[in-house]
A and B are shown apart, each in its own frame.
Chain A
Amino acid sequence: MPELVPGNGGGRPHPDEARLLAFVDAELTRHEASEVAQHLSDCSRCSDTVQSMRQIGEQYRSARKLVLPPPPRAWSDLGPMLRTKSRQPRISRVSLRWAAAVAAALAIALLIPTLSTRNLNAAELLREAVVAAERRAERRAERQNDPPRRIRVKTTKAQFTRLARQQSTLAARGEEQRIAMLFEQARYSWDEPLSPKAFADWRDQLAGKDDRVRILNDTEWGTGRFYRIATTTPTGSLAEASITIRASDRRAVQQTFRFRSADEFVEVSELPDEQPGTTVTSSEAGTSSDREVTAQPSAARSLTASDELRVVGAIHSIGADLGEPVDVLRDDSAGRIIVTALAADAERQAQLRTALAGIPFIELRFEQPEELRRPAPIDRAATTERAASNESAGRKPRASGTVQGPTALQDRLASTLGSRNTADNFTDHVLDLSEAALARAHALRSLARRFSATVETQLSPADIATLRKIEEDHTRALLASVREMNEVIRPVVKEQGTANQSQAFNSWQDGAVEVLQAAREVDGILTTALAGGEAAVDPDDALSSLGRSARGLQERVARLQTVIARAR
């Protein structure tokens, strides 16, 4: 180090303290740093400053240690914890709705699984769907006497049906021709618009794209899980396309197309007579699925509604028909019922095996989805996958450092209930109740779908009794949750006005549909009002809507209970 000559920097201006600090922290460019260094070489004042700055780091550390409380416990030995974690499956549980719930889980038991949104890989799914479609096509070709499949096309102006697959040159006139041209312009094949292959081909040749995969339950195409891949692209006349794939057999049931320039939206879907179970591929579609066949699948035994009920009953008995629904799909062509469980942990897998052990015509599949490389979203507005109004999707993490302030409703709750703490507890409690209610409502609607009035006629009296018992279990639990919810919100929802009107149900099936609608409505109000973010909600409106909807839900559930009791 050059000898310090006491001086004043040779008459040059001293760097300000911020710059000196930046120099000490090595945050200057090489050029800036060398200038400062040069100044320091003959300025004692600045050198002293720099010297004391170098020391302050250690001084601060000591001060901090001296004066702040030390960690109250000995530091846990992390090694063993990580080794235990290594033995657990990599799949994490579905994230809970509120980040507050995550904080509550920060308990002593540190072996909690990481919470993250489950993401499915668009490319993988598409590959599997393409393979499944090819297998199906081969099988169809073998049979030869199947009627040609048809699809429905809906546009903003009209709808029509056409063959699922036909050469473009045979396109009809009028609306169909207009649409055919749109597709041609977008370089998307109009030969077979409902086809994973066409979708994959289009997606592959995009220069820029953004994929989003959502998990849907109980759609208009039947019970069970569906995946919807939506791909957007900034250039070209086709701005966004989506494909909806049934999870159990990877069959594409619907596609949508949004054309940029023409401002046109086209939806293509299977025609209803293509029921699940008629042309099901045998299985090698899923690369990551692990299948177990418990009996000879080739004994093409005719399946009945009674068989389905038996399976549904078994799954209900272990409580696996709530929350994470287990798919039950009847495959008549193979004489099997396919039970698919997504992301089941070891304990759940064992439970399912045991529960289904006595049933001969079952194929049990466990699927583990792969996760995309995205950081776990620490996001107050993360939602569960079950509510139709908030489908699970990949969310971008919030920029670090931004803290979300309380919404107007949260402020209102805090002042009505006395403290922020009480308000947060209240919120969590109500959300839990809503989530529980929604799970039950979904389960009931699934049953209603599977066992329609027509199907019920195929059931024996004993079967009917079993079915009613399952319905009663769900309805009872649902009513309890909703009653409690109305109790809990009473102090906050002052208005004792009339509940939303409802009409009598013709059947329990109709009742189940109405109840689900009502439960979704309540859940939607809660989510919007408490989620915060962009949508500002007037607390008075929110609370009175909540009151009306919650009371309406309770009335409907009570009525459903009566209808079920009478239908015994």
Chain B
Amino acid sequence: MDESALQERVVAAYEDAREDVYYYALNFGLSSGQAQEVAQEVFLRLFTTLRRGEDISNIRGWVFRVAHNLALKVRGKEREVGGVENTIEWSISSEDSPEKQAIDHQQKQRIAAALAGLSPQQRQCLDLRVAGLRYREIAETLGVGTSTVNEFLRRAITKLKKALDA
């Protein structure tokens, strides 16, 4: 594949998946800035790897596996004693009226609680699933079996449904 076609291919993958990679990286306790840098770096590496002539049959799987390892490294460097925090911040739009803000805030709190109720691994599974990965790919990225992936997803979805439909 010539260089410009390769560039286009990588840019297309980047625009398609960067947000999914970003949200996936957030699972590792990284700051939003770090998660974004990981997301951008993954695609640079995709380009250099393809350019070296390596054949990647499954781009999506590769992207998330590399993102996983990169996020771990960044987290490893900044690890705090006591483990990774599981915080969820939220942003409230300041343009809306106070009433709307109040309603939004309540709803967001409910949703935030719903996500907080998931374990990081369940969130990781969800992020990978909505990114379009198959169970086999999710399994390889996380280092578990496919039936485990199925089970994580099942529990995550059950919890989510309960919280969101309440």
Contact = CB atoms under 8 A, between A and B. Distances in A.
Nearest to B149: A27
B65 interface: yes
Given A106-B38, A400-B143, A421-B80, 7 more contacts: A64-B23, A67-B115, A73-B36, A75-B36, A79-B11, A86-B3, A403-B76
A378 B40 contact: no
Nearest to B109: A67
Interface string B65-84: 10011101110111111000
Given A75-B40, A420-B81, A421-B80, A68 B26 contact: yes
A478 B135 CA distance: 54
A181 B161 CA distance: 75
10 contacts: A59-B164, A63-B111, A63-B114, A67-B108, A69-B26, A72-B36, A78-B40, A99-B76, A106-B38, A401-B141
Contact of A82 (B7, B52, B91): B7
A110 interface: yes
Contacts of B53: 373
Contacts, number: 170
B81 A414 contact: yes
Contact of B135 (A25, A72, A373, A414): A25
B44 interface: yes
B160 A371 contact: no
Interface in B11-65: 11, 14-15, 18-19, 22-23, 26, 32-41, 43-45, 47-49, 51-54, 65
A547 to B, nearest CB: 25
Given A56-B160, A66-B108, A103 B76 contact: yes
A375 B157 contact: no
Interface string B119-140: 0000000110110001100001
Chain A interface size band reads: 35 or more
A302 interface: no
A70 B76 CA distance: 23
A103 B157 CA distance: 33
Given A57-B130, A83-B7, A72 B164 contact: no
B100 interface: no
A69 B89 contact: yes
B135 A27 contact: yes
Contact of B77 (A60, A92, A104, A373): A104
Contacts of A110: 37, 40-41, 44
A419 B37 contact: no
Nearest to A86: B3
Contact of A90 (B11, B51, B151): B51
B102 interface: no
A92 B65 CA distance: 21
Interface of B: 3, 7, 10-11, 14-15, 18-19, 22-23, 26, 32-41, 43-45, 47-49, 51-54, 65, 68-70, 72-74, 76-81, 88-91, 108, 111-112, 114-115, 126-127, 129-130, 134-135, 140-144, 146, 150-151, 153-154, 157-158, 160-161, 164
B92 to A, nearest CB: 10
Interface string A100-112: 1011101110100
Contacts of B47: 82, 85
Contacts of B40: 75-76, 78, 110
A376 interface: yes
B36 A67 contact: no
A82 B45 contact: no
B42 to A, nearest CB: 11
Nearest to A99: B73
A399 interface: yes
Contacts of A18: 150-151, 154
A103 B129 contact: no
B32 A82 contact: no
A85 B142 contact: no
Contacts of A90: 51-52
Nearest to A399: B143
Contact of B11 (A69, A78, A92, A419): A78
A27 B45 CA distance: 30
A69 B19 CA distance: 12
B155 to A, nearest CB: 9
Given A69-B91, A373-B52, A424 B77 contact: yes
B11 A371 contact: no
A29 interface: no
A63 B142 contact: no
Contact of A419 (B43, B81, B90, B157): B81
Contact of B129 (A25, A70, A400, A403): A25
Nearest to B7: A82
Contacts of A103: 70, 73-74, 76-77
B23 A21 contact: no
A402 interface: yes
Contacts of A293: none
Contacts of B79: 420-421, 424
Given A56-B161, A371-B52, A81 B141 contact: no
